[in-house]
Amino acid sequence: MNEFLSIFITWQFLVLCIGIAAVTFVFRTIIEFVILDNPRMPGNRTSKFWRDVVLVILPILLGATFAIVDTSFPYPAVISESYSKFLFSSSAGLLSPTLYRVIKALLWKNTTVVNDRPAPFYFPTDPNVQVIDPVTQTDPITGLVQSVIVNIKPPTADDVNKEPSEPSEPFEPKV
């Protein structure tokens, strides 16, 4: 692996990217809640300026600001000058949304969600056991029948007196 690429696959770069993504997320959430969802304030969250300018530039500016403000971050040994720290942090900001999506996809792919809740309709094999649906407090079959009966509409006079209409196309079964 070449030296340039090895700088960007270090724990420092990954931590900086995830940190910038987290700060961007917090900033975005606060701004969208306080300003963009407020009907008294101008702008909205679907604004082209907000989506295509601010949210794209914000992580880069946060990375650059981090390089200027924080002097104690353990940069890789090759990066010693202030301008190289500035470029390293800015590029971490530039790649932070992409790296966040990659890490999130890897986590979702490699983990499973455990559902501890029981199934809503459980039919035991023993006929003497009565099952009660926790939501409707009735037997599941009774609840299903009641919901079907409630949704049945009686025919109206128009339905009874209506003449049958001819189908627009003759019915031909497809084989």
Per-residue pLDDT reduced to its tens digit, 38-59? 777 777 777 788 888 989 999 9
Q: What does the pLDDT read at residue 43?
A: 72
pLDDT digits (tens, 9 = 90+) for 11-40: 898 999 999 999 999 999 998 888 877 777
Is residue 96 within 8 Å of residue 20, measured between CB atoms? yes
Handedness of CA 62, 65, 69, 70 (dihedral sign): positive
How far is residue 70's CA from residue 78's CA, in Å, rounded to a whole number? Answer: 18
Residue the block writes with tokens 């959430």: 29
Q: Structure pTM?
A: 0.59
Q: Which residues contact 9 (CB under 8 A, 6 or more apart)?
A: 1
pLDDT digits (tens, 9 = 90+) for 110-163: 877 665 555 555 555 555 555 555 555 555 555 555 555 555 555 566 665 666
- Radius of gyration of the chain from Cα atoms? 31
Please report, for the chain, the start and end positions of each structural domain, with discontinuous segments joined by +.
8-110, 123-152
